[in-house]
Amino acid sequence: MQHLHAHSIPDVSVLIVNYNVKDYLQQCLRSVQGARDGLNVQIVVVDNASSDATMDELPELFPDVVWVASQENLGFGRGNNVGLSHCTGRYVLFLNPDTIMQPDTLRTMVSYLDAHPEVGLAGCTVYNPDGTFQLACRRGFPSPWASFTKLFGLQALFPQSRWFAQYNMTYLPVEATYDVDALIGAFMMGPRSLIEQVGGFDPAFFMYGEDLDLCYRIQKLGRSIRYVHTTSIVHFKGESTRRSSMDDVAVFYDAMKIFARKHYGRSAPFLLLLNVGIVVRSVVEKMLRRRRELLMLGLDGVSLLLALLLATSVRFDGPFGFPDYAYPLVLIVVPLVALVSLISVGEYVEYRPTIRRSLVGLLVSFFVLSSLTYFFKEYAFSRGVVLMTIGISAVLLSIVRGVAALLDARGGTSKIRTVVVVGLTPAAASIIEALRTSEYRTTSIAGAVATNTLAQTQFAGVPVIGTADYLETIIGDTHAEEVIIADSAFDPSIIVRMMKRSGLHRVRYHFAEAYDDVIMARLVQDVAGVEPTVQVSPLLRFRNRWIKRAIDVMVALPTLLVLGIQVFLGRRNARPRFHAWMEVLRGTRSVVGLYNDGRRRVAGKPGITSLVDVGSGTVVVSQAAAEHINDYYVAQYSVALDIEIMLKYLVGHRGIK
């Protein structure tokens, strides 16, 4: 036992950096104590300013642990560096708090390192809680080629290929021991003297990437990085980040960029490829998230094309009765105009597709297509074909939506709805109890979410699974379909910000103080197709954002051309105006936007001009008045309002600002 070796050098110092996972840390420490097996084991825990009472409760339960309390969240690398100064063992084991090790893990790893002095860092087999193998426990470096195959999905397509699966090494057997490029930071053991020699972790990495970097630097010293399969741990991946307000995806990609610049900094093409890959992965993830809407859009496109061919057959006794020069343009333009019209009324991107809204969209497309024939006389073959196409499309799109609704209804009888409750309030407790008793056959409560700090791990019989700042990730992890906010102090702008950033509009959000409020909100949404409890600014609607961005680009391009000539000719004050309009082109400003009142809003960007500018004239507007005018602009935004502001701005200024 540990007390028998009190005056000798520990065989291993187990170093754990903890953040808001008190319950996981407790079971981790117990597993470490159960794995000492006669070894002299030192345990050091660095707590990164947790808000879940870790430092109030656990030191009493584990008095032999060296507890180091940080006053701020240092991140993984810096936290380990602080703890490293307290370690005295021959070996150091970097261990995540959300892990459980086997009784033989420490003995196996110490014995292996004793027998293999050429090894600089060693890791073991890591399993997910469901028993599957965690790929990240032995990896290749994110070289240009490995990053390309990982980011663009080639690794997933060819997991057994040594050429395409270099990053996660899926072509290698799990039940074997061999050298690898890198290990997972959740479990890495190596000689303390060597780790101190390389300076520990690079503090430039906050979280993610620092384990890759440490392995890279140790390999540069000629020491091996080895995956050892003869023992294992279980890793409850991501628990610390789920219980924080950190955007772990953004931090992960930032870490990859830091690693790439540090070790492949001379390769400009690689850095460009990395950024392109990140964008592509982000787009793919968003498309997968909206796969239902994309499928509906594809079916509608096919229906529109079929309707056009049917209408042409009726009118001209054949599906291709237009003049030859009309093809394939007419087969592209007609369905495209109709789909854009459907999007303009909110189908696919803002609301779940409905028959009523699709009919409105088709009506809009009819007027647009009819108007186009007046400008392009050579394509005015038959307005009757256009009308017939719209009529047939109305029938086909209604059938598509009817079938989708029928499938939803049939699936809904057996489908379990996953619910997340936000708030640790009496109202939340009563709603959770009502869901358990009234909907136990159809509803699964994923857990409760704290609206501020995380001070407990259980509430009303369900786990507390994170904070509201991290709600987006919690929804993704739990696949929640309904979020019930039962805390009157909760800021609705958090939900609006999520909708703007990731488009999680398929999740139902309800502000409720009682279970009856939840029932009412569900009924209103099912019948009317709108959510009455979350008000979203018109500025956040896809169609308005798209139109506004298009106007910005169309106005900015000629304006920049004029200002560029003025800069070239040496005109005074042209350069700052040129930079301001470049911000419009880049998307950080808008032609018409918000006046700088010092407040940060979810919706809206700073503008070249604003409602405050054109409305005040020569009058000095107070700070409070400017805030109210900005609030009005955000709440009452419309394209017509923007156009009116632009016209008044041009008349008032007679030129380019």
246's CB contacts (< 8 A; 6+ apart) are 207, 470
Spatial separation of the C-alpha atoms in residues 372 and 419, rounded to whole Å: 48
Give the C-alpha distances (Å, rounded to integers) separating 440 from 279, 359, 581: 41, 38, 57
The verdict on pTM exceeding 0.85 is no
What percent of the chain is modeled with pLDDT above 90?
Answer: 29
Residue whose token pair is 């991290």: 470
Residue whose token pair is 């028998």: 4
Q: Which of 211, 285, 289 is nearest to 252 (CA)?
A: 211
Same domain flag for 457 and 377:
no
Q: Of the ranges 83-92, 335-344, 543-552, which one carries the lowest mean pLDDT score? A: 543-552
CA 83 to chain centre: 31
Spatial separation of the C-alpha atoms in residues 339 and 361, rounded to whole Å: 8
Confidence label for 546 from pLDDT (cuts 50, 70 and 90): confident
Number of domains the chain contains:
4
pLDDT value for 413: 44
264, pLDDT greater than 70: no
Q: Which of 398, 371, 393, 370 is nearest to 383 (CA)?
A: 370
The full DSSP string for 90-124 is: SEEEEE-TTEEE-TTHHHHHHHHHHH-TTEEEEEE
Give the C-alpha distances (Å, rounded to integers) separating 92 from 87, 126, 204, 242: 7, 18, 21, 27
Confidence label for 247 from pLDDT (cuts 50, 70 and 90): very low
User: What average pLDDT does this structure show over 234-257?
Assistant: 52
Q: Of the ranges 23-32, 208-217, 465-474, 571-580, which one carries the lowest mean pLDDT score? A: 465-474
In 298-415, which ranges are E strands?
Answer: none
Q: Residue 503: which CATH number?
A: 3.40.50.20
Contact 235, 182 (CB under 8 A): no
Other CB atoms within a 10 A radius of the CB of residue 206 amount to 18
Residue whose token pair is 């972790």: 201
249, pLDDT greater than 60: no
pLDDT value for 464: 83
Spatial separation of the C-alpha atoms in residues 48 and 639, rounded to whole Å: 48
324, pLDDT greater than 80: yes
Q: Which of 471, 543, 544 is nearest to 509 (CA)?
A: 471
479's CB contacts (< 8 A; 6+ apart) are 418
pLDDT value for 415: 63
User: What average pLDDT does this structure show over 551-575?
Assistant: 88
Which domain-ending residue is among 385, 412, 439? Answer: 412
Same domain flag for 475 and 615:
no
> Is residue 129 one of the residues assigned to a domain?
yes
Same domain flag for 572 and 618:
yes
Q: Name which residue leads in pLDDT, 9 or 408.
A: 9
pLDDT value for 291: 78
Beta-bridge partner residues of 15 = 44, 94
179, pLDDT greater than 80: yes
Phi-psi region of 222 (alpha: psi -120 to 50; beta: other; left: phi over 0): left
> Is residue 99 one of the residues assigned to a domain?
yes
477, pLDDT greater than 90: no
> Is residue 255 one of the residues assigned to a domain?
yes
> Is residue 284 one of the residues assigned to a domain?
no
Contact 39, 113 (CB under 8 A): no
Contact 26, 61 (CB under 8 A): yes
- Tens of pLDDT, residue by residue over 101-120, are 999 999 999 999 999 999 99
244's CB contacts (< 8 A; 6+ apart) are 19, 20, 73, 466, 467, 469, 470
> Is residue 282 one of the residues assigned to a domain?
no
Same domain flag for 611 and 639:
yes
Q: Which of 574, 553, 576 is nearest to 564 (CA)?
A: 574
User: What average pLDDT does this structure show over 626-647?
Assistant: 82
Same domain flag for 87 and 222:
yes
User: What average pLDDT does this structure show over 174-198?
Assistant: 93
Q: Name which residue leads in pLDDT, 331 or 503.
A: 331
Same domain flag for 229 and 149:
yes
- Tens of pLDDT, residue by residue over 482-491, are 888 888 777 6
User: What average pLDDT does this structure show over 274-302?
Assistant: 77
Containing 30, the helix (H) or strand (E) segment is helix 22-33
Residue whose token pair is 């039940």: 175
Q: Which of 343, 363, 354 is nearest to 400 (CA)?
A: 354
Same domain flag for 42 and 149:
yes
Q: Which amino acid is at 583?
A: E
Residue 444, classed as helix, strand or coil, is strand
328 preceded by cis ω (within 30°)? yes
Spatial separation of the C-alpha atoms in residues 515 and 520, rounded to whole Å: 9
Spatial separation of the C-alpha atoms in residues 340 and 361, rounded to whole Å: 9
Q: What is the mean pLDDT of the chain?
A: 81
pLDDT value for 237: 65
**pLDDT winner (highest mean) among 75-89, 107-121, 373-387:** 107-121
> Is residue 285 one of the residues assigned to a domain?
no
Same domain flag for 408 and 421:
no
Same domain flag for 354 and 205:
no
Same domain flag for 297 and 445:
no
pLDDT value for 129: 75
Which domain-ending residue is among 412, 433, 462? Answer: 412
Same domain flag for 549 and 645:
yes
Q: Name which residue leads in pLDDT, 501 or 506.
A: 506
In 161-274, which ranges are E strands?
Answer: 178-179, 182-183, 187-191, 224-235
240, pLDDT greater than 50: no
Confidence label for 251 from pLDDT (cuts 50, 70 and 90): very low
pLDDT value for 162: 87
Q: Of the ranges 198-202, 264-268, 305-309, 647-651, which one carries the lowest mean pLDDT score? A: 264-268
What percent of the chain is modeled with pLDDT above 70?
Answer: 80
Q: Which of 501, 454, 525, 522 is nearest to 603 (CA)?
A: 501
pLDDT value for 248: 41
Domain that holds residue 54: 2-276
pLDDT value for 528: 45
Residue 242 in tokens: 């789920």
Contact 478, 446 (CB under 8 A): yes
> Is residue 14 one of the residues assigned to a domain?
yes
- Tens of pLDDT, residue by residue over 591-605, are 998 888 777 666 788
Contact 84, 196 (CB under 8 A): yes
CB < 8 Å & 24+ apart, contacts of 487-491: 487/422, 487/423, 487/424, 487/425, 487/427, 487/428, 487/451, 488/513, 489/451, 490/422, 490/423, 490/451
Residue 49 in tokens: 């300013």
> Is residue 121 one of the residues assigned to a domain?
yes
Spatial separation of the C-alpha atoms in residues 74 and 562, rounded to whole Å: 49
Phi, psi values for residue 40, rounded to 5°: -90, 105
For residue 3, give the DSSP letter: G
Find the angle CA(632)-CA(504)-CA(344) to the nearest 5 degrees.
60
Same domain flag for 399 and 428:
no
CA 433 to chain centre: 31
Containing 148, the helix (H) or strand (E) segment is helix 144-151
91's CB contacts (< 8 A; 6+ apart) are 11, 12, 13, 109, 110, 113, 189, 190, 191, 192
261, pLDDT greater than 80: no
pLDDT value for 211: 83
For residue 222, give the DSSP letter: T
pLDDT value for 282: 62
501, pLDDT greater than 80: no
Contact 67, 87 (CB under 8 A): no
User: What average pLDDT does this structure show over 168-180?
Assistant: 92
- Tens of pLDDT, residue by residue over 386-411, are 889 999 999 999 999 888 878 776 65
Which domain-ending residue is among 246, 276, 306? Answer: 276
Confidence label for 14 from pLDDT (cuts 50, 70 and 90): very high
Q: Name which residue leads in pLDDT, 586 or 468.
A: 586
pLDDT value for 657: 41
237's CB contacts (< 8 A; 6+ apart) are 98, 128, 134, 186
pLDDT value for 260: 63
pLDDT value for 370: 85
Residue 474 in tokens: 């919690």
User: Taking the C-alpha atoms of 477, 478, 482 and 485 in order, what is their torsion angle to the nearest 10 degrees?
Assistant: -80
Q: Residue 256: which CATH number?
A: 3.90.550.10
